Structure 1
């Protein structure tokens, strides 16, 4: 188990992230050069949420929705225009250096490693940046090397690493100082299936063993289904949803599908409360508009059924429908 000791850390109380009425505005200049006008644009508007220690929370939204601006305020890169935010008990923009010792940040499209140095030396420099004692650094590096299988490329220059190897190196750099919060921005972007699986299993392990809180933004909804019990959806700068995956599925009117395996092929099943949307030999897909139990009873009464499978809408379908406005009016879903 990875050591979580940090001699500089104050005891944590309450939420590890607490945002109240958080907002961030930008000013855009428009029009001809000599007659430009300035227009206020709200990138994030009146966002309120808390994240408890030990949670894994997905923060989702289409491009331009306000995800990056929120993350930059949480990490102290941006100062909020309105509202308040505290992370690990600190105001990020005022205590950015202190906060850096409490959080780890990984951006999938950028690296914090030194491009021309071997990975091992990059990680040694990271130790000095965070002032991690040498013995703790050695212990954590050994454990992370084993968990993320870094051994074969520790002495390889970062510029020669594959994307998956570099991402594992970035995760290691973000965790060497044992942060209580890990902020991930698109951590599996561009990775192959095996690399994605390795990263996801590792994140679940450090959350379970160390209680590391994880906040993740991603367009790969496989990350969400595998990692997150809770999701927040931001759209046009406002929080549109905050709750569990099952609640999110219930929010958006995407139908469930009953897959029916029959003893022999038959024409499209016609049954009250369902509509056949696909037929392949003895297998038929029925889109449900009624109670599944009642539809199953009606199908079984009229046909020789071998097997039945009830499929809930996948999270990608649900989130896409929410982005398109298939859910109730924005703001009505926020909890």
Structure 2
């Protein structure tokens, strides 16, 4: 579905080099990235602000032309075949809407039907399906400007899917949403991917989206691809500590046990860091054998911990 071969994108910016002088500087937003995404995959595309995520998305959707390299999306060149690609692609930008502000949501979706030349009967069936899955019924006839953020986002998702695209590109689709709205959007995207086989590329700062939705993650940093693989493989690759949370019967000095170290105490509760190379079961057995324990639990490193460690150079060369 997506083929990217050594794409790069640089921009020329003017920067002050003296009181009255400005010089031109070339900035590499994307610097030689290669990857493929197969049909039916659900892929998370992560990176800090300025890493090159949005620039990559704009090249995949034809908004920007690569400075070098080759891009194919659904077999098409995005920058040269934008109209043909638009019929096979849906895009949602979380901070921008494609809906008409003063029109009811239903009318916006009807206008989008005409833009994509979707037959009336097909649109009617598609709208009924999207209305049920995204729970649009209560506000289909409400002007877009009166919708809550969560309702508008569901409307934007419906707008991106009116023409039943093969590929859906999402840029921060849950930004600012409440817990209930996030759950609705996540459940819908899961069904869209598993039941219809829609390929989804997701960029987000909400790492909960990644953990709940994506089977594969790509991490970009300073314009280069720093990681491409599964979350499980990332956990195995990055040397991030697990945390053992121990509730003792009564407050006690920091626990001393081989292979772990106390990083925090709060009354009878203590937190011990266990390096990935250490057998956690042995540490648990040692703690339970030497102390009166009321409760004990092991917390695996979250994706935020893993990505932070990755940015700090925690992945060995070759991964």
With structure 2 as the length reference, what TM-score do the two structures score? Answer: 0.94
Instruction: Verify: 1:242 aligned to 2:228, yes or no.
Output: yes
Hey, what does 1:300 align to over in structure 2? 288
With over 3 angstroms needed to count, the CA separation of the structure-2 counterparts of 1:47 and 1:305, relative to structure 1, is: same
Hey, what does 1:38 align to over in structure 2? 24
Equivalent of residue 135 in structure 2, options 142, 149, 153: 149
Report the Cα distance in structure 2 between the residues aligned to 1:275 and 1:137, rounded to whole angstroms.
61
Asked whether the equivalents of residues 39 and 198 of structure 2 are also in contact (C-alpha less than 8 Å), the reply is yes
* Count of residues paired in the alignment: 316
Hey, what does 2:12 align to over in structure 1? 27
Asked whether the equivalents of residues 253 and 326 of structure 1 are also in contact (C-alpha less than 8 Å), the reply is no
Deviation at 1:34, TM superposition (A): 7.7
Q: Secondary structure at the match of 1:167?
A: helix
Report the Cα distance in structure 2 between the residues aligned to 1:309 and 1:241, rounded to whole angstroms.
30
Asked whether the equivalents of residues 252 and 326 of structure 1 are also in contact (C-alpha less than 8 Å), the reply is no
Deviation at 1:265, TM superposition (A): 4.2
Deviations 1:5-31 (A, max 9, x none): xxxxxxxxxxx0010001111111234
Deviation at 1:281, TM superposition (A): 4.3
Deviation at 1:308, TM superposition (A): 3.0
- Structure 1: gaps spanning 5 or more residues: 1-15
Deviations 1:163-186 (A, max 9, x none): 100000000000111111100000
Deviation at 1:299, TM superposition (A): 1.4
With structure 1 as the length reference, what TM-score do the two structures score? Answer: 0.90
Deviations 1:116-164 (A, max 9, x none): 1100000000101111111110001001101111111101111111110
Equivalent of residue 327 in structure 1, options 311, 314, 317: 314
Equivalent of residue 99 in structure 2, options 113, 126, 137: 113
Hey, what does 2:57 align to over in structure 1? 71
Hey, what does 2:300 align to over in structure 1? 312
Root-mean-square deviation (CA, aligned residues, Å) is 1.8
Hey, what does 1:98 align to over in structure 2? 84
Report the Cα distance in structure 1 between the residues aligned to 2:126 and 2:292, rounded to whole angstroms.
59
- Structure 2: gaps spanning 5 or more residues: none
Report the Cα distance in structure 2 between the residues aligned to 1:270 and 1:30, rounded to whole angstroms.
55
Hey, what does 1:86 align to over in structure 2? 72
Asked whether the equivalents of residues 262 and 283 of structure 1 are also in contact (C-alpha less than 8 Å), the reply is yes
Report the Cα distance in structure 1 between the residues aligned to 2:314 and 2:45, rounded to whole angstroms.
18
Asked whether the equivalents of residues 258 and 285 of structure 1 are also in contact (C-alpha less than 8 Å), the reply is yes
